[in-house]
């Protein structure tokens, strides 16, 4: 059960790791016209606004279940890394709700043909929150990767010690 759960968590972590990595590899969002950016934002927010809460809450639920199932090993690396990941994800969620999520409805009302005078400042603020969160998202995902790695190799290390 926990091995299957840890595999699911690695899939979540890969998703959350790749989101900011894409922006670091190809930081296109400042190099496009206001119209293109407004149209992109409306299109992506239509999906992310509906799906990201489900993805984030499912991931947090899976982490919490992992912690509950490993409570007896709460002083070991898998538990501690997963607890760290959960704390980071909760912090990121609170930041997102209070920053980007609050800006989304305003930007979704923009007419790409007639952008408000402060559109670039709002875009920069919205992107700034994403860029601020990027290393934390990658850190959160890395904690999940490490937790699962140490969980998967724990039994193997114990068997190796028994053979000696």
Percent residues over pLDDT 70 in the chain: 94
Higher pLDDT, 6 or 164: 6
Note the pTM of the prediction, 2 decimals: 0.87
The answer, yes or no, to whether residue 163 has pLDDT greater than 70, is no
The answer, yes or no, to whether residue 79 has pLDDT greater than 60, is yes
Range with the poorest average pLDDT among 20-29, 96-105, 124-133, 138-147: 20-29
pLDDT of residue 19: 86
The answer, yes or no, to whether residue 154 has pLDDT greater than 90, is no
* 11-44 pLDDT per residue, tens: 999 999 998 888 888 888 888 999 999 999 999 9
Please report which confidence band the pLDDT of residue 160 belongs to, taking 50, 70 and 90 as the band edges.
Answer: low
* CA torsion, ordered 34, 38, 44, 49, to nearest 10 deg: 130
Percent residues over pLDDT 90 in the chain: 81
* 36-47 pLDDT per residue, tens: 999 999 999 999
d(CA 107, CA 17): 26
* CA torsion, ordered 108, 136, 21, 54, to nearest 10 deg: -50
* 98-117 pLDDT per residue, tens: 999 999 999 999 999 999 99
Helices in the chain by DSSP H: which ranges? Answer: 2-25, 34-69, 77-98, 100-108, 119-163
The answer, yes or no, to whether residue 1 has pLDDT greater than 70, is yes
CB 82 within 8 A of CB 101: no
């Amino acid at each position: 059960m926990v091995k299957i759960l840890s595999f699911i968590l690695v899939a979540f972590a890969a998703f959350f790791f790749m989101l900011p990595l894409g922006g670091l590899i190809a930081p296109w969002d400042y190099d496009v016209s206001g119209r293109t950016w407004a149209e992109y934002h409306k299109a992506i927010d239509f999906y992310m606004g509906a799906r990201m809460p489900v993805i984030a809450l499912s991931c947090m639920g899976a982490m919490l279940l992992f912690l509950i199932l490993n409570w007896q090993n709460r002083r070991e690396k898998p538990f501690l890394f997963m607890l760290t990941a959960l704390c980071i994800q909760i912090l990121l969620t609170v930041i997102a709700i209070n920053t980007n999520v609050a800006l989304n409805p305003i930007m979704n009302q923009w007419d790409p043909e007639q952008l408000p005078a402060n559109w670039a400042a709002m875009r920069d603020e919205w992107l700034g929150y994403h860029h601020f969160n990027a290393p934390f998202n990658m850190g959160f995902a890395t904690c999940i990767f490490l937790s699962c790695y140490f969980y998967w190799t724990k039994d193997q290390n114990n068997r190796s010690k028994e053979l000696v």
